[in-house]
Amino acid sequence: MSDAVLEVRGLTKRYGAVHALKGIDLTVRQGSIYGFIGPNGAGKTTTIRIVAGLVRATEGDVLLHGVDLRKDRLAAAKGLRTLVEVPAFYGNLSGQANLEIFARLAGADRADVARLLERVRLTHAKDRAVRGYSLGMRQRLGIAQALLGRPDLVVLDEPMNGLDPAGMHEMRELIREENREHGVTFFLSSHLLDDIQRLCDRIGVLHKGALVAEGRIEDLLSSAVTGFRLRCADPAAARAVLVASLPEAKARLDGDGTVHVAGDASILPRLHRALLDAGQPVVEMYPVRASLEAYFLDLTEGVMG
Amino acid sequence: MSALARVGRLVRVEAQKVLGGRGLLVGLVAVAGVTALTGWTHAPDSGYETAWTRTAAALGAGLWAAEIFLLVAGTTTIAGETAGGTLKMILPHAYRRSDWIVAKALVLAAQAVVLLATAVAVAATCGALSGGLGDVTRTTDELGLSMAPETLQAGGAMTGYLTQSALVSLAALVTTAWVGLWISCLFDAVVPAVSTGFLLFLGFKSAGTLFGAGPEVLESIYAWYPGAMLDRLEDLGKALNEAWREGMAPRGLRLSAIVAAVSLAGSLIVFTRRDLQS
């Protein structure tokens, strides 16, 4: 049996002549934290809106636990919770009353409301009307509503928006804890690549409506080698050899006594040959991998989200 | 979970939202206030005042207030949630969009019942305090001799006419709210939804004044019946030689039922098919 919580197959969305999504395929596995990144206008929120049932796909399927969302929404969306963009609440009602409304919708009990208010540190403000809440408090209340009733899959669109550094740290801890202790699967979209790298096991990179990369972060970054660090008996001599024979490698001496060369694995045969011919064999070699940010910028042509 | 259980749960959610806000309270105070004020200050144009004329006039005024409240409540019920962003928070849960429409329609209908009951209670109280809702009688003087009072309308019959008027008013109120609900499904913002609702409602309610519509046209508009029936009740209360038109109540109820059903169907079709971008 498949352990996929969310499967998106050939998801396409057109708004007239605008092709917002161009046949996206992705899979989110049970118990994982999946990061969904892309520049503004890439189609992240459209994808999330389709998963949330707010927008209908032009083509393609969204399956939750193998059940087609369009064919059997009641069964498919049972364990699904979402937070799309800025959380909104009934401003004239208190934080607790709002959560009670969402708890009723989710079939959760009142104890869950109290637990989550405590967990997102809003117990002190639970009786205040939400219209008086700051953006950060609303965001925390939004996360709390998304966790009501022990969901299987929580889809969060920019969950760190409006949070201060301490709030962001807390939010990361909350997501990790719910994932680790309660097995909740998360699907997060975020502009904060550092958060994505720290939290997620897998990512999907969306650009101009197409999924341009998907997989485990380590695997994606391991394929994104930007250069190598070499340890040789005489680093200065080795550098001189490489500058003369492989100028495109832009060899330089680093402070730790290694020689840094730029390029991918295709330069390695020529590099080894040049150094061996010069009597400077490589003792140790480490690949230099791109950061997620560099990888993202490379994939999206330098368009930051 | 069965459809009935889902709708029942959503009705409780909607009721919690309505009761948690101040909107319904404001509506109740407005309806009670307008009804009481009209009952208190009413001056009949014919110079002949009875408890029934006060009651009919007061209920007519209260009905206007209730119609306006329900028109606003109806036109904002989806558009308000779309504009406020709460629709995107509630819709992803495991319910059908049709469940939401049915629940919202039922809660609007319940508000109509509460508002009309308030208006009827206040109007009847005004009548009771100004001589009592008994027989409509007329006493004439002939040759300087006071004759025995003549009963023109029995109190029981007048109560029946009031009940018919109230029933037709309730049907019209529910229909107005559901027309508003349909309009609400068409817009992402409150102002265009409410404006459209008001323009349509004014067209329904004042077709005679605004467009010079004749009796045949007016009698084909559901919203015309409550006011017309209460006007007739007021005329009967003035001891005018009028007769109650028995066909008004069934026709008014039938028209309201048709428009309400079309509005509900329209709401279901529009809301279940549209994309929610806001």
Q: Measured between beta carbons, which residues in chain B are less than 8 angstroms from residue A53?
A: 91-92
Cα separation, B178 vs A20, whole angstroms: 35
Choose, out of B17, B78, B93, B104, the residue to mutate when testing the contact with A (most A CBs < 10 Å). B93
Quote the tokens at residue B265: 């169907």
The answer, for A127 touching chain B at a CB cutoff of 8 Å, is no
Average pLDDT of the residues in A47-68? 92
Is residue A98 within 8 Å of residue A145, measured between CB atoms?
A: yes
pLDDT at B127: 87
Opening angle at CA A188, ends A165 and A179, nearest 5: 85
Q: Each residue of B95-128: b (16+ CB within 10 Å) or e?
A: bbbbbbbbbbbbbbbbbbebbbebbbebbbbbbe
Helix/strand/coil (H, E, C) string of A241-271? HHHHHCHHHCCEECCCCCEEEECCHHHHHHH
User: To which residue do tokens 């998360």 refer?
Assistant: A186
Global pTM value: 0.85
pLDDT tops 80 at residue A188: yes
The mean-pLDDT minimum among A154-163, B59-68, B100-109, B156-165 falls in A154-163
Q: Name the pLDDT band for B249 (thresholds 50, 70, 90).
A: very high
pLDDT tens, position by position, A208-236: 899 988 888 888 777 777 788 888 888 88
The answer, for B43 touching chain A at a CB cutoff of 8 Å, is no
Quote the tokens at residue A111: 């104890």
- Partner residue opposite B94 with nearest CB, options A77, A86, A93: A77
pLDDT at B229: 93
pLDDT at A256: 81
Q: Name the pLDDT band for A29 (thresholds 50, 70, 90).
A: very high
Contact B20 A52 (CB under 8 A): no
Q: Each residue of A264-281: b (16+ CB within 10 Å) or e?
A: eeebeeebeebbeebebe
pLDDT tops 70 at residue B155: yes
The answer, for B20 touching chain A at a CB cutoff of 8 Å, is yes
Contact B16 A145 (CB under 8 A): no
CATH architecture of structural domain A225-289: 2-Layer Sandwich (3.30)
pLDDT tens, position by position, B76-114: 999 999 999 999 999 999 999 999 999 999 999 999 999
Is residue B178 within 8 Å of residue B260, measured between CB atoms?
A: yes
Q: Measured between beta carbons, which residues in chain B are less than 8 angstroms from residue A104?
A: 9, 12-13, 16
Cα separation, A291 vs A197, whole angstroms: 9
Mean pLDDT of chain B: 90
Please list the residues that pair with A284 across neighbouring strands.
A231
Q: Measured between beta carbons, which residues in chain B are less than 8 angstroms from residue A91?
A: 84
The residue among B136, B159, B156, B138 whose CA lies nearest residue B59 is B159
pLDDT tops 90 at residue B189: yes
Contact B17 A90 (CB under 8 A): yes
Is residue A55 within 8 Å of residue A84, measured between CB atoms?
A: no
Judged by DSSP in three states, B16 sits in helix
Strands A18-29 and A4-15: antiparallel
Cα separation, A138 vs A131, whole angstroms: 9
- Partner residue opposite B86 with nearest CB, options A74, A90, A104: A90
The residue among B88, B267, B117 whose CA lies nearest residue B181 is B267
Average pLDDT of the residues in B29-43? 91
| CA distances for A46 relative to A43, A113, A185, A219, B270, angstroms | 5, 30, 20, 27, 20
Entry field: residues in chain A: 305
**Share above pLDDT 70 across residues of chain A, in percent, rounded to a whole number:** 98
Contact B95 A74 (CB under 8 A): yes
pLDDT at A220: 79
Q: Is the dihedral of CA B41, B45, B46, B52 positive or negative?
A: negative
pLDDT tens, position by position, A83-102: 988 899 999 999 999 999 99
Is residue B143 within 8 Å of residue B75, measured between CB atoms?
A: no
Cα separation, A184 vs A26, whole angstroms: 18
Contact B275 A54 (CB under 8 A): yes
Contact A104 B13 (CB under 8 A): yes
Cα separation, A54 vs B277, whole angstroms: 8
The answer, for A253 touching chain B at a CB cutoff of 8 Å, is no
Among all residues of chain A, which has the CA nearest to that of B19? A93
The answer, for B25 touching chain A at a CB cutoff of 8 Å, is no
Cα separation, B104 vs B110, whole angstroms: 10
pLDDT at A304: 46
Q: Name the pLDDT band for A246 (thresholds 50, 70, 90).
A: confident
Give how far A296 is from chain B: nearest CA, Å.
Answer: 27
Contact A52 B9 (CB under 8 A): no
The answer, for B2 touching chain A at a CB cutoff of 8 Å, is no
Strands A202-207 and A33-37: parallel
Q: Measured between beta carbons, which residues in chain B are less than 8 angstroms from residue A89?
A: 86, 89
Domain limits, CATH 3.40.50.300, in chain A = 4-220
Domain limits, CATH 3.30.70.100, in chain A = 225-289
Contact B85 A101 (CB under 8 A): no
Q: What is the ipTM of this complex?
A: 0.84
pLDDT at A194: 83
A 71-90: CB under 8 A from B: 73-78, 80-90
Is residue B174 within 8 Å of residue B69, measured between CB atoms?
A: no
* Fold (topology level) of A4-220: Rossmann fold (3.40.50)
Mean pLDDT of chain A: 88
pLDDT at A305: 45
Higher pLDDT, B63 or A248: B63
Give how far B109 is from chain A: nearest CA, Å.
Answer: 21
**Share above pLDDT 90 across residues of chain B, in percent, rounded to a whole number:** 63
Cα separation, A165 vs B19, whole angstroms: 38
Give how far B95 is from chain A: nearest CA, Å.
Answer: 6
A121 Ramachandran zone, left/alpha/beta (phi>0; psi -120 to 50): left
Please list the residues that pair with A33 across neighbouring strands.
A186
pLDDT tens, position by position, B218-238: 888 999 999 999 999 988 888
- Domain spans of chain B? 3-136+149-273
**DSSP states of chain A:** ---EEEEEEEEEEEETTEEEEEEEEEEEETT-EEEEE--TTSSHHHHHHHHTTSS--SEEEEEETTEETTT-HHHHTTTEEEE-SS----TTSBHHHHHHHHHHHHT--HHHHHHHHHHTT-GGGTTSBGGG--HHHHHHHHHHHHTTT--SEEEEESTTTT--HHHHHHHHHHHHHHHHHH--EEEEE-S-HHHHHHH-SEEEEEETTEEEEEEEHHHHHHT-EEEEEEEESSHHHHHHHHHHH-GGG--EE-TTS-EEEES-GGGHHHHHHHHHHTT--EEEEEEEEPPHHHHHHHHTTT---
Q: In degrees rounded to 5, what are phi and psi of residue A212?
A: -90, -15
pLDDT tops 80 at residue A47: yes
A41 Ramachandran zone, left/alpha/beta (phi>0; psi -120 to 50): left
pLDDT tops 70 at residue A180: yes
Q: In degrees rounded to 5, what are phi and psi of residue A235?
A: -60, -40
CB-count exposure of residue A243 (10 Å: 0-12, 13-18, 19+): middle
Higher pLDDT, A239 or B46: A239
Higher pLDDT, B47 or A37: A37
Strands A18-29 and A67-68: unpaired
The mean-pLDDT minimum among A24-33, A225-234, B246-255 falls in A225-234
pLDDT tops 70 at residue B146: no
User: To which residue do tokens 């029934």 refer?
Assistant: B52
pLDDT tops 60 at residue B191: yes
Give how far B14 is from chain A: nearest CA, Å.
Answer: 9
Average pLDDT of the residues in B68-72? 96
Average pLDDT of the residues in B229-254? 87
pLDDT at B21: 83
Q: Name the pLDDT band for A265 (thresholds 50, 70, 90).
A: confident
The answer, for B1 touching chain A at a CB cutoff of 8 Å, is yes
Average pLDDT of the residues in B57-83? 95
pLDDT tops 80 at residue A143: yes
The residue among A39, A36, A37, A43 whose CA lies nearest residue A15 is A43
Cα separation, B71 vs B93, whole angstroms: 28
Q: Name the pLDDT band for B141 (thresholds 50, 70, 90).
A: low
pLDDT at B241: 67
The mean-pLDDT minimum among A55-59, A98-102, A138-142, B273-277 falls in B273-277
pLDDT at A94: 94
Q: Measured between beta carbons, which residues in chain B are less than 8 angstroms from residue A87?
A: 85, 89
pLDDT at A302: 53
Is residue A89 within 8 Å of residue A78, measured between CB atoms?
A: no
Average pLDDT of the residues in A4-26? 92
Give how far B21 is from chain A: nearest CA, Å.
Answer: 6
Contact A77 B92 (CB under 8 A): yes
- Partner residue opposite A82 with nearest CB, options B21, B92, B275: B92
Cα-based torsion angle of the residue sequence B169, B170, B175, B177 in order, rounded to the nearest 10 degrees: 110
The answer, for B88 touching chain A at a CB cutoff of 8 Å, is yes
